[in-house]
Amino acid sequence: MTGRSCRRRKNITIVSVLFLVLAAILGPTPSSAATDWWTPTARPTPDAQINVTGAPFTGTNSAGEVRGFVDAHNHLFSNEAFGGRLICGKVFSESGVADALKDCPEHYPDGSLALFDYITHGGDGKHDPAGWPTFKDWPAYDSMTHQANYYAWVERAWRGGQRVLVNDLVTNGMICSIYPFKDRGCDEMTSIRLQAKLAYDLQGFVDKMYGGTGKGWFRIVTDSAQARQVIEQGKLAVVLGVETSEPFGCKQILDIGQCSKADIDKGLDELYGLGVRSMFLCHKFDNALCGVRFDEGGLGTAINVGQFLSTGTFWKTEACKGPQHDNPIGTAASEAEADLPSGVDVPSYDKAAQCNVRGLTDLGEYAVRGMMKRKMMLEIDHMSVKATGQVLDIFEAANYPGVLSSHSWMDLNWTERVYSLGGFVAQYMHGSEGFAAEAKRTNALRDKYGVGYGFGTDFNGIGDHPAPRGADAANKVTYPFKSVDGGSVIDKQTSGQRTFDFNTDGAAHVGLIPDWIEDIRLVGGQDVVDDLFRGAESYLDTWGATERHQASVNLANGRPATASSSESNPFTSYQPGRAVDGDDSSRWASDWSDDQWWQVDLGSTNLVSKVTLDWERAYGKSYRIELSTDGTNWRTVWSTTSGDGGLDTAKFAGTPARYVRVHGLGRGTDWGYSLYEVGVHSG
């Protein structure tokens, strides 16, 4: 019996060991391994430090929402743009940090040829060109010519709570052509393709540090569901956008567009295939698609010179028709004026005329509708007031939510129109005092629409960044500090021999985003930071709603129409049916007197809640929308006395109607009333 007992114990021991081995193989990894997934298995040595400890937050909040900050406007790879030598230094290099973070060769020995710095900022541009490891003079908050997006600095921003990064692929063919230092051609689409490729290369570069494809924290996403999954994993969702002056080759010369609808379709298809999901249609220069919002001061003069050299025309202004206005151009002198032909001068501008005469062109409208078909989001910053208003009219008529203002360059009077569509708004990365003040100014609107907030850093762009408030400033950043979620500790960032302190260095590079947000908390309060922390959810709400958008049915299309009168013309027809024939080049036109009406029979009673009116130049200033179920008894559901033409959208409570009438009471011109198309919708 004793022998059997010993054998039984031995068998049990062997089985126990086997179970332990299986448990080790099949069971969860030890907690030490499970909590350091954010630490790479290999990193280039030497390299910049991250200086953040603690686990990045994952999952969602109690309401099932993702959390995190949104940088809605950044240019990771603009060092590859403008001929390749305007921005010095790389985002990453297989050869390591010493190769990535070095100055342009023409900046040696003292920065005297850092032309872009003193063209845009004045001064002499002189600086110590040495990058790694000393970084004596760069990166700096007020330098536009040095890499601010080194990958390890981006990693620090992610570790500090950022969860969405919009990487706008950017260039400008004219700036490239006139800048004397370059190592490549100036074709804009060629540069865009290269920057897209490098974004995917960076993803692969980070993946290798973490053991293979898909394992890194830098994840390029192409739909909102994928972005949510990435953020729930605690990683950074990277969205590709485009900000360029002549997309698809759509420049204009002497006000004549140099592209076609076929070029636009081909270009949009190519960009979509590259993974681009948001874009600007114009930037800095008027092009064949739209007019731009002006730059100010010396930079404005320089850009206006570029506008002339690129298009043959300077900016043209007019008195604004509403409270919205473009930036004042200013008349500050600029070194760029030396590039103008002899006898040509930058014009002076009337201070009472601050609006660009150029709005959305026919090709521009085609591009807007092409983006809508592809469920892409449109950036309205940099568009003129006139162009922005036309875009918002189109989106409101279609209930299309895909509108973004990513860095404070639209007129702030449009903010509620953007929110009411379901769009997303971010503010430029101003200093903490200014940022907090502007955030509080629009706080009531965010509360009204239940949305979060974003920021657009524009790193590697042509704007300044937050200056240091000073070592003796009140409420200065004290290191180390905790991240907004409370799960990480953030200390001063060290790159080589230099340690950055936000109080004395300002926002010198993208890795100091967490420090800037802490400065906002100290200066502006927790509420502003809380709104920013809800930014990722709101951005994805806009993107998801854009993807799900379906064009509503036009109940009036092809239905019988009548009118009080129709203008007689021996060469064409202006009969009532022309406003519901689906052809936006044909139109109904009335006699030239005030009291006129146009109506359509929907064929049966429907619940009507929206009517869209696409006016020709002869528009209604005072008119009303009337509905009827029998064609005899009419009810006014919407009216205006301040119509200004273009595309109008009348929204009202859903009302049963078979007949819809547009009743003109006062003309906006000496002509009659004229409508290209009328749309009637149930929602």
pLDDT at 33 over 60: no
Same domain as 520, residue 486: yes
pLDDT in the model for residue 593: 96
pLDDT in the model for residue 351: 86
467-484: average pLDDT: 96
Of the pLDDT bands very low, low, confident and very high (cuts 50, 70, 90), residue 324 is very high
Same domain as 460, residue 479: yes
pLDDT at 474 over 70: yes
β-pair type (403-405, 377-379): parallel
- Residue 647 Cα distances to 597, 677, 682, angstroms: 18, 10, 18
pLDDT in the model for residue 388: 97
Is the residue at 44 inside a domain? no
Same domain as 337, residue 399: no
pLDDT in the model for residue 157: 98
Same domain as 239, residue 260: yes
Residues 653-666 pLDDT 10s: 999 999 999 999 99
pLDDT at 307 over 70: yes
Same domain as 530, residue 423: yes
Is the residue at 17 inside a domain? no
Same domain as 637, residue 664: yes
Residues 351-365 pLDDT 10s: 889 999 999 999 999
pLDDT at 32 over 70: no
Tokens, residue 332: 């500050």
Is the residue at 523 inside a domain? yes
Is the residue at 250 inside a domain? yes
pLDDT at 26 over 70: no
End-to-end CA distance of the chain: 87
Which is nearest to 169 in space by CA: 75, 92, 79, 87? 75
pLDDT in the model for residue 1: 33
Same domain as 419, residue 276: yes
Which is nearest to 97 in space by CA: 71, 40, 135, 144? 135
190-210: average pLDDT: 97
Is the residue at 470 inside a domain? yes
User: Residue 174, Cβ neighbours under 10 Å: how many?
Assistant: 23
Of the pLDDT bands very low, low, confident and very high (cuts 50, 70, 90), residue 120 is low
Residues 56-97 pLDDT 10s: 999 999 999 999 999 999 999 999 999 999 999 999 999 999
Of the pLDDT bands very low, low, confident and very high (cuts 50, 70, 90), residue 169 is very high
Per the listing, tokens 């500050």 go with 332
Same domain as 627, residue 645: yes
Of the pLDDT bands very low, low, confident and very high (cuts 50, 70, 90), residue 331 is low
- Count of domains for the chain: 3
pLDDT in the model for residue 17: 36
pTM for the structure as a whole: 0.89
Per DSSP, the three-state class of 661 is strand
Is the residue at 21 inside a domain? no
pLDDT in the model for residue 207: 98
Same domain as 518, residue 567: no
pLDDT at 613 over 70: yes
The CATH number given to whatever domain includes residue 420 is: 3.20.20.140
pLDDT at 11 over 90: no
Alpha carbons 57 and 50: distance in angstroms, whole number: 16
pLDDT at 8 over 70: no
The CATH number given to whatever domain includes residue 639 is: 2.60.120.260
Is the residue at 154 inside a domain? yes
Is the residue at 265 inside a domain? yes
Same domain as 496, residue 633: no
Can you give the three-state secondary structure of 429-492, one letter per residue?
CCCHHHHHHHHHHCHHHHHHHCCCCEEECCCCCCCCCCCCCCCCCCCCCCCCEECCCCCCEECC
Domain extent, residue 659, equals 561-682
Per DSSP, the three-state class of 596 is strand
Of the pLDDT bands very low, low, confident and very high (cuts 50, 70, 90), residue 124 is confident
Of the pLDDT bands very low, low, confident and very high (cuts 50, 70, 90), residue 34 is very low
Residues 365-424 pLDDT 10s: 999 999 999 999 999 999 999 999 999 999 999 999 999 999 998 988 899 999 999 999
- Residue 639 Cα distances to 557, 590, 618, angstroms: 22, 19, 18
Residues 135-168 pLDDT 10s: 999 999 998 899 999 999 999 999 999 999 999 9
Domain boundary among 548, 582, 606: 548
Same domain as 205, residue 86: yes
Of the pLDDT bands very low, low, confident and very high (cuts 50, 70, 90), residue 178 is confident
Same domain as 389, residue 257: yes
Percentage of residues in the chain having pLDDT higher than 90: 83
Instruction: Tell me the H-state helices in 340-384.
Output: 362-373
Alpha carbons 655 and 659: distance in angstroms, whole number: 11
Residues 522-581 pLDDT 10s: 999 999 999 999 999 999 999 999 999 998 899 999 999 999 999 998 899 999 999 999
**Mean of the per-residue pLDDT values of the chain:** 92
pLDDT at 27 over 60: no
Residues 488-538 pLDDT 10s: 999 999 999 999 999 999 999 999 999 999 999 999 999 999 999 999 999
